[in-house]
Amino acid sequence: MALTNYVTLGRSGLRVSPMCLGAMTFGEQWGWGSDDETATAVLEHYLERGGNFIDTANIYTKGYSEAFIGSYFAGRKSTVSNPPRDRVVLATKFMGNMYLRDPNGGGAGRKSIIAACEQSLRRLQTDYIDLYWAHFWDQHTPLEEMVRALDDLVRSGKVRYVGLSDHPAWVCAKCQHLAQELRAGHFIALQIEYSLAQRTVEGELMPMARHYGMGVTPWSPLKGGILSGKFTRNNHPTEDTRTKPENRHLSDKNYAIIDELIAIAKEASATPAQIALRWLSLQPGVSSIIIGARKLSQLQENLSALEVTLSEEQLQRLDTASAVEQAFPFDFVHNLKTAIHGGTSINGEQREPWPLAPKDDQERY
């Protein structure tokens, strides 16, 4: 697979690369991230490789991420390898509040959404947004209001498609139902945290997305970098790095995942990060993985994950090491498939006979 093996995003005609460039690292306004020179190198390399999907948000680096992207596309001559703005799929998000002490500065209310869209268009120096995400769930706003306001933006031409990021499965389902009821555009994509170290989304969110035809774009595919293998059981964080938020995820279970990643990486002549990314790209429903990079070398390594081949045995080892107990009733229902299948294979899934089922006509009443 290559970055130019484009896929349609969910139940839509929008073609995107299998890896999306996350722009949260563009800018140093949060005290970390990339300076302009590095961000330019990262963006240009992604585009030169044929990538066409860029993801940002109004609140990333206090708005600078959007402003940087807007200036980049507005201030240079386009070539075949460096396409103009209208040849890329530009995604951004609303919901985060950019205005201190303004209760309408954020959220999913009509006033906030329309204002946020106008501000993003200004920073991005564009007339339209290809994919507009509801960044997270606003529990204080009726979903009907958000769905209708987004549809108005689509009908006005300022937004092409809409998606949901970090919303519960039942809220996503409700939004899709409302979109149909209101004859509004449906939500084509779902952005959620998903990785070998975060598989609880396989309980409700992933099946929901597949059911409604939402392409999934996972964020934090390396769980803040811990799945890169930079830390192991014998190489713990130093005092200088111990307080980083991602290091709270260095549990015994995740060390077991890291052990397996390192072992398989050696077998596949790859890096642990590439193995983790390739595993994720092969999960049902995943359309495009959002990868961020503070350095060009990180981007190059991550993009090469698409070229890695994993055997069924290696995939099974990763599945086993990272397996999680899902919330009720998902594990319960999964384990009771033996009571449904009757010892047969259904859609390629073989189950042993249920030990409590009748063995023959004499045992069946």
Answer yes or no: are the C-beta atoms of 45 and 299 closer than 8 Å: yes
Evaluate whether 161 touches 12 at the Cβ level (below 8 Å). Answer: yes
CA-CA distance, 152 to 118, in Å (whole number)? 13
Please report how many Cα atoms fall inside a 13 Å half-sphere around the Cα of residue 304, on the Cβ side: 14
Contact 134, 171 (CB under 8 A): no
Count Cβ neighbours within 10 Å for each residue of 25-37 and write b for 16 or more, e otherwise.
bbbeeeeebbeee
Distance CA 46, CA 53 (A): 9
Choosing from 6, 60, 161, 212, the catalytic residue is 60
Q: Can you say whether the dihedral through the CA atoms of 153, 92, 144, 99 is positive or negative? A: negative
Backbone angles phi, psi at 108, to 5 degrees: -110, 15
* Contacts within 8 Å (CB) and 24+ apart, 94-99: 94/58, 94/120, 94/132, 94/133, 94/134, 94/135, 95/134, 95/135, 95/136, 95/138, 96/57, 96/58, 96/59, 96/135, 97/59, 98/58, 98/59, 98/62, 98/63
Cis peptide before 329 (omega within 30 of 0): yes
Residue 227 and residue 195 in contact, taking contact as beta carbons nearer than 8 Å: yes
CA atoms of 296 and 51, how far apart (whole Å):
15
On the 0-12 / 13-18 / 19+ scale of CB atoms within 10 A, 245 is exposed
Question: Any catalytic annotation for residue 72?
Answer: no
Q: Give, in order, the Cα–Cα distances in Å from 228 to each of 24, 87, 128, 234, 296.
A: 19, 32, 36, 15, 16
Residues with catalytic roles: 60
